[in-house]
Copies of this chain bind each other. A is one copy, B any other.
Amino acid sequence: MNFELLILGTGSATPVLNRHPSAFLLCIENESFLIDCGEGTQYRLLEHKVKSTRIRHIFISHLHGDHYFGLIGLLSSWNLNQRKESVTIFAPRGLAEILTIQFKHSDTKINFKINFVETDTENIHSILDTNLVSVETIPLHHRIPCCGFLFRSKASKRKILAEKLPENFPIPYIKMLKDGLDISDEFSGEVFLNKDFTTTGSVSKSFAYCSDTAYNELKINQLQNVDAIYHEATFTESELKRAQQTNHSTARQAATIAKKINANQLIIGHYSSRYKILDAHLSESIEVFANTFLAEEGKTYKI
């Protein structure tokens, strides 16, 4: 199963020229999930030739501008480009009002359906459940209501080895094989062992998005054993006090969470504009959690 994260923005609130504000595209099979949408995200999507029709769900962690100021432009452009597919936007209370008032003053009628879903940022809450994926909120600790998102793709059934099946093999038997059953044919007495005709399906994968947040351990139970976690690391330990004052995390704190949840992979980002190079972020994170990657814009991380 294709399950990968494209990084569109690694910056934080203060703008700098070589980093863009937060935006991420999680791609699972043929679906793309946009997570946060800082100013200019629509241009990043153009750069990376992302098909907008594959984005049917947008997740906004909180209403600080570096996480959503690009949304009004993206939606307006989709409308100009005659989008017809509906989109569901998960965000804290307030976003619908902000978007609606802007559409009103520009006399814009959006020709596709926008479903607004208000997130509960205080509790773990299931917000999406499809054949492909389930998503729940991750309560985070920030200056304003803010939550992350835990994505779990669904494991698929066993895959049929079509070339091994007899001709005209009955369809009900194929379904039974997919479900992992052996088959004993009543009429012919023939036996079809599942292991001879199928192989394993795809396994469930999980990804946790945690930005912006002060260090807090409340999410440790919820996120046990995730395959990958993106955790903000606005600062390094040398700015621990500043991190605490602003409800952000250091790279070491991000790594500590990754270790405590027994993650397989940690991606850190949301770097403060004060850091021109990120060697200290990487080294202090690796000390605690070896499998750390620095988020780099334009790079895709297989999970």
CB-defined A-B contacts under 8 Å, sample of 23: A14-B77, A15-B42, A15-B73, A16-B46, A39-B40, A39-B42, A39-B70, A40-B40, A63-B102, A63-B106, A64-B106, A65-B72, A65-B73, A69-B69, A94-B101, A94-B104, A94-B105, A95-B105, A98-B98, A98-B101, A101-B101, A105-B144, A107-B143
Given the complex of chains A and B, what is the CA–CA distance between A101 and B81 in angstroms? 28
Binary interface encoding of chain A residues 251-275 relative to chain B, with 1 for a CB under 8 A from any of its CBs, else 0: 0000000000000000000000000
Q: CB of A279 within 8 A of chain B?
A: no
The contact of A65 among B15, B76, B95, by CB within 8 Å, is B76
The answer for the CA separation of A72 and B69 in the assembled complex, in Å, is: 8
Report how far A43 CA is from B15 CA in the complex, Å: 7
CA distance A39 to B38 in the complex (A): 11
A13 cross-chain contacts in B, Cβ below 8 A: 76-77, 80
The docked-state distance in angstroms from the alpha carbon of A151 to that of B43 is 32
Report whether A17 and B46 are in contact in the complex, using a CB–CB cutoff of 8 Å: yes
Contacting B at CB under 8 A, from A52-78, are 63-65, 69-70, 72-73, 76-77
A186 within 8 A of B: no
Contacts of A98 in B (CB 8 A): 98, 101-102, 105
Kindly report which residue of chain B lies nearest to residue A42, judged by CB atoms. B15
- Contact-residue size bin, chain A (C-beta under 8 Å from the other chain): 20 to 34
A80–B105 CA distance with the chains assembled, in angstroms: 27
What separation, in Å, do the CA atoms of A221 and B94 have in the docked complex? 46
Residues of B within 8 A of A40 (CB): 39-40, 43
Query: Which residues of chain B have C-beta atoms less than 8 A from A39's C-beta?
Result: 39-40, 42, 70, 73
Expressed in whole angstroms, the Cα–Cα distance for A47 and B106 within the complex equals 29
Taking CB atoms, residues of chain B closer than 8 Å to A69 are: 69, 72-73, 76
A167 at the interface (CB under 8 A from B): no
A97 at the interface (CB under 8 A from B): yes
Which B residues are in CB contact (< 8 Å) with A106?
A: 63-65, 144
Of B14, B46, B72, B80, which contacts A81 at CB under 8 A?
Answer: B14
Rounded to whole Å, the gap between the CB of A53 and the closest CB of chain B is: 16
Bound-complex Cα distance A250 to B144 (A): 47
Closest to A144 in B: B107
Within 8 A of B (CB), among A172-188: none
A4-32, CB under 8 A of B: which get 1 and which 0? 00000000011111000000000000000
Task: Given contact pairs A16-B46, A65-B106, enumerate 20 new A-B contacts (beta carbons under 8 Å).
Answer: A13-B76, A13-B77, A13-B80, A14-B80, A14-B81, A15-B43, A15-B77, A39-B42, A39-B73, A63-B105, A65-B76, A69-B69, A69-B73, A94-B104, A97-B101, A98-B105, A101-B101, A105-B144, A107-B143, A107-B144
